[in-house]
Structure 1
Amino acid sequence: MELRLLVTFEKVATVLSFTRAAAELRYAQSSVTAQIRALESSLGAELFDRLGSRIRLTEAGERLLPYARQMIELAGEARAAVAGAEEPAGTLAVGTMESLTSYRLPPLLEYFHHRYPRVRLSLRPTLGDETRRALRQGTYDLGFLMEEETEHTGLESEVLTAEPLALVAAPGHRLHGTEPAVGDLVGEALLATEPGCAYRDLFERELTAAAPVSFLEFGTIEATKRAAAAGLGVCLLPEVTVAAELAEGSLVRLEWTPPFTLRTQLAWRSGKRLPAHARLFVERARQLLAEQG
Structure 2
Amino acid sequence: MELRLLVTFEKVATVLSFTRAAAELTYAQSSVTSQIRALESSLGTELFDRLGSRIRLTEAGERLLPYARQIIELTEEARAAVVGAEEPSGTLTVGTMESLTSYRLLPLLEFFHHRHPRVRLSLRTTIGDETRQALRQGTYDVGFLMEAETEHAGLEVAVLAREPLALVAAPGDPLAGTAPDTAALPGRPLLATEPGCAYRDLFERELNSCLPEGSSVDFTEFGTIEATKRAAAAGLGIALLPEVTVAAELERGELVRLDWEPPFTLSTQLAWRAGKRLPSHARLFVERARRLVSEESGPPR
TM-score > 0.5 by shorter chain = yes
Partner of 1:241 in structure 2? 245
CA drift of 1:194 comes to: 0.6
Paired position in structure 2 for 1:162? 162
The one-letter amino acid of 1:64's match is L
**1:125-156 Cα deviation digits (max 9, x unpaired):** 00110000000010000000000011111110
Residue 118 of structure 2 corresponds to residue 110 of structure 1:
no
For 1:225, the equivalent position in structure 2 comes to 229
Q: Please list, as runs of the form range in 1=range in 2, the aligned pairs for 1:39-58 lying within 5 A after superposition.
A: 39-58=39-58
Partner of 1:84: 84
**Which residue is 1:152 aligned to?**
152
Partner of 1:30: 30
Are 1:290 and 2:275 counterparts?
no
Query: 1:193: how far off?
Result: 0.6
Q: Which residue of 1 aligns with 2:269?
A: 265
Q: Secondary structure at the residue paired with 1:258?
A: coil
- Give the distance between the partners of 2:41 and 2:222, measured in 1 at CA: 53
> What residue in structure 1 maps to residue 6 of structure 2?
6
Is contact 2:9–2:36 with CA below 8 Å preserved after alignment? yes
Structure 2: how far apart are the matches of 1:203 and 1:147? Answer: 13
Distance 2:142 2:172 in 1: 43
Give the aligned partner of residue 283 of structure 2. Answer: 279
Find runs of 4+ consecutive structure 1 residues off by over 2 angstroms.
none
1:176, CA displacement in angstroms?
Answer: 1.8
- Distance in 2, matches of 1:83 and 1:245, equals 50
Q: Distance in 2 between matches of 1:48 and 1:19?
A: 14
Give the CA deviation at 1:172: 2.4
Alpha-carbon distance in structure 2 between the residues aligned to 1:61 and 1:94: 26
Q: Structure 1: how far apart are the matches of 2:186 and 2:3?
A: 58
- Could you tell me how far apart the structure 1 residues matched to 2:48 and 2:263 are? 47
Distance 2:205 2:126 in 1: 21
User: Matches of 1:104 and 1:27 in 2, distance apart?
Assistant: 37
SS at match of 1:268: strand
CA distance in 2: counterparts of 1:42 and 1:119, whole angstroms: 35
Tell me what 1:253 maps to.
257
Residue 21 of structure 2 aligns with which residue? 21
Distance in 2 (alpha carbons) for counterparts of 1:132 and 1:218: 23
Structure-2 residue corresponding to 1:126: 126
What's 2:66 paired with?
66
How big is the shift at 1:219? 1.1
- 3-state SS in 1 of match to 2:108: helix
CA distance in 1, matches of 2:226, 2:32: 44
Cα shift at 1:289: 1.6
- SS of structure 1 residue aligned to 2:222: strand
How many angstroms apart in 2 are the aligned matches of 1:173 and 1:184? 13
* Corresponding letter in the other structure for 2:222: F
Q: Does the CA-based 8 Å contact 2:108-2:293 persist in structure 1?
A: no
SS in 2 for 1:24: helix
Q: State the alpha-carbon separation in 2 of the partners of residues 40 and 159 from structure 1.
A: 41
Percent pairwise identity: 82
Q: CA RMSD in A?
A: 0.7
SS at match of 1:219: coil
In the alignment, the residues of structure 2 paired with residue 30 and residue 229 of structure 1 have an alpha-carbon distance, to the nearest angstrom, of: 55
**What is the rounded CA distance, in whole Å, between the counterparts of 1:291 and 1:129 in structure 2?**
27
CA distance in 1, matches of 2:64, 2:139: 17
**AA of the residue aligned to 1:75:** T
What is the alpha-carbon distance in structure 2 between the residues aligned to residue 12 and residue 285 of structure 1?
30
2:17 counterpart letter in structure 1: S
- Residue by residue over 1:27-80, the C-alpha shift from the partner in whole angstroms, topping out at 9 and shown as x without a partner, is 111111111111111111110000111100000000100010010000000011
